[in-house]
């Protein structure tokens, strides 16, 4: 390799950096240096790897494979901190340790490797995402933080601390690593699930639960990890018999996340579920969330419909809030005044000033320690109607706020939207009836059903199918009779050959005004 500085940066590249960029590169953790260098040099990943290869003589491996034997000699702490992983190469000389890294190794990294293995290393370059992926898959997420062998690192890598303080710091680093990795992979939820003899951690990504690869020694840190999460959420760590709820403000780089925390006792220990919010820095659209062109066309016509509430439903993790975010892109006229109401900011409309310049984002607030200052979703819904809104968007209906929302939307606030947890489109109606009853209004069922029918026009049901969000059903609410809601299913994912069924003539006429044309095979009702 050609001469490099103390941080492994080839001098030819170091000379192209300003003093500020060099200082930032030197102070950054190794996993962040590649990105900083690419930004400073205005190069993409492939171009920077090619330049590093030219200056150092190191070969680039686009898809390195793991060396299982090499894992036994390279400690997790070294792999994580130095962002280096052993790779296997066909035809490589016996006894040689092939190592891949995104940046050329610095002197400290080479000293660490020499400390733990007598095998002569040969270095290669690889994309940083691939290196990080191999480390997480084979050592476990956060493995560098909980590495038992950390005390044996050279003095450059590890400051002298007492055992208890070191363990506390390791747990803090581990929790941070797990959350940061969840954010990087686009997780909406992180679950810490105690099992018999071990702790399982899973991410929910695109509606699916994905097991997180973890270090083998995680079990002995289990209690400390759960306590750390409760401390971050300002919960009572001594209370282990009752469920608790809290919030964490978590900073990941420049992003600040609002994390909703829920704990519940299990037969083994406390289970902790985290909901990661406020991650949207770019708007979703219907292409990006995986909707087909036909689905998009119909949804756009539904969104243009000038009457009533559009209720977006689906099971947990189906993508209701993400879909609602995408639907908001379709009504992004600056002439509209939009008010959003959420228990926790998930829609992220505040990030899209260009698309929604006139909007107000309202958030419910819990009571303070004296029991004062609570503002619930019902209060916010009533307040929003006094703000002259064109559209009121309720993030999620799950309680007594259903009654003022339905009442308001039946009085001329048309074209509004909200989400609701439901296993099917038709199960929406009994849930709304139950929510209205929570408001203790004492209204008879037929009256509530009339209110539902006058306020809601369409129910758009979302489900995650094969990792993609799909509109599986659209129901048009037409009327109410006694204890029943009268509705038509105007779209069904299960009938692609004639997806539209029993569409009312009245509805077809209105949709036609918005340019809707009947697809081949559509059936019409009288």
Residue 227's pLDDT is what? 92
Q: Is the pLDDT of residue 53 over 50?
A: yes
Please give the structure tokens belonging to residue 344.
């926790």
pLDDT > 70: what percent of the chain?
Answer: 79
Which strands make up the sheet holding 391-394, listed edge to edge?
359-363, 338-342, 391-394, 416-421, 309-314, 456-465, 468-481, 484-492
Residue 150's pLDDT is what? 45
Cα dihedral sign, 105-107-113-114: positive
Residue 13's pLDDT is what? 82
Q: Is the pLDDT of residue 272 over 90?
A: yes
Alpha helix ranges (H) inside 331-444? 377-384, 402-409, 428-438
Q: What is the pLDDT of residues 381-429, one digit of tens each?
A: 778 777 777 778 887 887 777 887 777 666 655 568 888 888 888 888 8
Q: What is the mean pLDDT of residues 136-146?
A: 79
DSSP string, 464-480: EETTEEEEEEEEEEEEE
Whole-angstrom distance, CA of residue 492 vs CA of residue 505: 18
Please give the structure tokens belonging to residue 61.
């491996």
Q: Which domains does the chain have, with CATH numbers?
A: 11-152 (3.30.300.160), 163-277 (3.30.450.90), 293-513 (3.40.50.300)
- The answer to which of 15-19, 353-357, 429-433 has the lowest mean pLDDT is 353-357
pLDDT tier, 230 (very low <50, low <70, confident <90, very high otherwise)? very high
Residue 152's pLDDT is what? 46
Give the three-class secondary structure for 492.
strand
Residue 409's pLDDT is what? 67
Q: Pick from 101, 288, 259: which is nearest to 183 by CA?
A: 259
Residue 514's pLDDT is what? 57
Q: What is the pLDDT of residues 180-217, one digit of tens each?
A: 888 888 888 999 999 888 889 999 887 788 888 888 77
Backbone region of residue 195 per phi and psi (left: phi > 0; alpha: psi in -120 to 50; beta: other values): beta
Compute the 3-state secondary structure of the chain and give helix, strand, coil in percent, each to the nearest 5: 35, 25, 40
pLDDT tier, 156 (very low <50, low <70, confident <90, very high otherwise)? very low
**Mean pLDDT (the chain, rounded):** 78
Q: Pick from 282, 478, 314: which is nearest to 396 by CA?
A: 314
Q: Is the pLDDT of residue 166 over 70?
A: no
By the 8 A CB rule, do 426 and 456 touch?
no
Pairing label, strands 120-125, 96-101: parallel
Q: Is the pLDDT of residue 523 over 60?
A: no
Q: What is the mean pLDDT of residues 57-62?
A: 89
Residue 192's pLDDT is what? 95
Whole-angstrom distance, CA of residue 507 vs CA of residue 245: 45
Q: Is the pLDDT of residue 500 over 50?
A: no
Q: Is the pLDDT of residue 155 over 80?
A: no
Alpha helix ranges (H) inside 117-211? 128-139, 163-184
Residue 262's pLDDT is what? 92
Q: Is the pLDDT of residue 522 over 50?
A: no
Q: How many CA atoms lie within 13 A of 202 on its CB side?
A: 13
Question: What Cα–Cα distance (Å) separates residue 83 from each residue in 13, 71, 74, 228, 264?
Answer: 20, 13, 12, 26, 36
Q: What is the mean pLDDT of residues 306-316?
A: 79
Residue 264's pLDDT is what? 93
Please give the structure tokens belonging to residue 468.
């993609």
pLDDT tier, 520 (very low <50, low <70, confident <90, very high otherwise)? very low
Residue 305's pLDDT is what? 66
Rg (CA), the chain: 28
Q: Is the pLDDT of residue 271 over 90?
A: yes
Q: How many CB atoms lie within 10 A of CB 164?
A: 8
pTM higher than 0.75, yes or no? no
Whole-angstrom distance, CA of residue 360 vs CA of residue 65: 50
Please give the structure tokens belonging to residue 520.
């081949």
Ranked by mean pLDDT, the top range of 137-141, 250-254, 385-389 is 137-141
Q: Pick from 327, 331, 501, 309: which is nearest to 420 by CA?
A: 309
């Amino acid at each position: 390799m050609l001469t490099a500085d103390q941080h492994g940066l080839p001098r030819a590249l170091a000379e192209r950096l300003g003093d500020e960029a060099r200082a930032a590169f030197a102070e950054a953790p190794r996993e962040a240096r590649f990105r900083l260098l690419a930004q400073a040099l205005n190069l993409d990943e492939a171009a920077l790897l090619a330049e590093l290869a030219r200056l150092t003589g190191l070969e680039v491996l686009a898809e390195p494979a793991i060396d299982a034997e090499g894992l036994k000699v390279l400690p997790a702490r070294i792999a994580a901190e130095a962002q280096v992983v052993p790779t296997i190469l066909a035809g490589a000389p016996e006894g040689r340790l092939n190592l891949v890294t995104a940046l050329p190794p610095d002197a400290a990294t080479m000293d660490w490797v020499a400390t733990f293995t007598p095998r002569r290393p040969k270095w290669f370059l690889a994309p940083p995402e691939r290196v990080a992926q191999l480390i997480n898959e084979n050592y476990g997420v956060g493995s560098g933080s909980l590495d038992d062998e950390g005390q044996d690192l050279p003095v450059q890598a590890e400051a002298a601390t007492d055992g208890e303080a070191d363990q506390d710091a390791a747990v803090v680093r581990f929790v941070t690593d797990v959350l940061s990795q969840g954010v990087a992979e686009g997780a909406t939820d992180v679950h810490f699930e105690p099992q018999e003899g071990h702790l399982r951690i899973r991410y929910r990504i695109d509606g699916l639960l994905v097991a997180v690869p973890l270090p083998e020694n995680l079990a002995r840190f289990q209690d400390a990890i759960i306590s750390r999460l409760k401390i971050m959420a300002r919960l009572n760590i001594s209370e282990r018999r009752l469920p608790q709820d809290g919030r964490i403000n978590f900073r990941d780089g420049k992003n600040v996340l609002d994390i909703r925390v829920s704990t519940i006792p299990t037969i083994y220990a406390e289970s902790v579920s985290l909901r990661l919010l406020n991650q949207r820095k770019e708007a979703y659209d219907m292409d990006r969330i995986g909707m087909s062109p036909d689905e998009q066309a119909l949804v756009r016509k539904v969104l243009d419909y000038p009457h009533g509430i559009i209720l977006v439903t689906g099971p947990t993790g189906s993508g209701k809030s993400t879909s609602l975010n995408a639907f908001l892109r379709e009504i992004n006229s600056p002439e509209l005044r939009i008010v959003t109401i959420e228990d926790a900011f998930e829609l992220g409309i505040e990030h899209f000033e260009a698309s929604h310049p006139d909007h107000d984002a309202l958030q419910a607030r819990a009571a303070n320690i004296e029991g004062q200052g609570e503002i619930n979703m019902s209060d916010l819904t009533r307040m929003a109607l006094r703000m002259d809104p064109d559209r009121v968007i309720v993030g999620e209906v799950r309680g007594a706020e259903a009654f003022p929302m339905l009442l308001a939307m039946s009085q001329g606030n048309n074209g509004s939207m909200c989400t609701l947890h439901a296993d099917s489109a038709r199960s929406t109606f009994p849930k709304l009836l139950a929510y209205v009853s929570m408001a203790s209004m004492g209204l008879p069922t037929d009256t509530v059903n009339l209110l539902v029918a006058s306020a809601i026009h369409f129910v758009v049901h979302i489900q995650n199918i094969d990792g993609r969000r799909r509109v599986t059903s659209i129901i048009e609410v037409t009327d109410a009779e006694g204890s029943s809601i009268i509705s038509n299913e105007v779209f069904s994912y299960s009938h692609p050959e004639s997806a539209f069924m029993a569409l009312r003539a009245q509805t077809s006429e209105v949709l036609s005004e918005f340019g809707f044309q009947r697809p081949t095979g559509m059936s019409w009702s009288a």
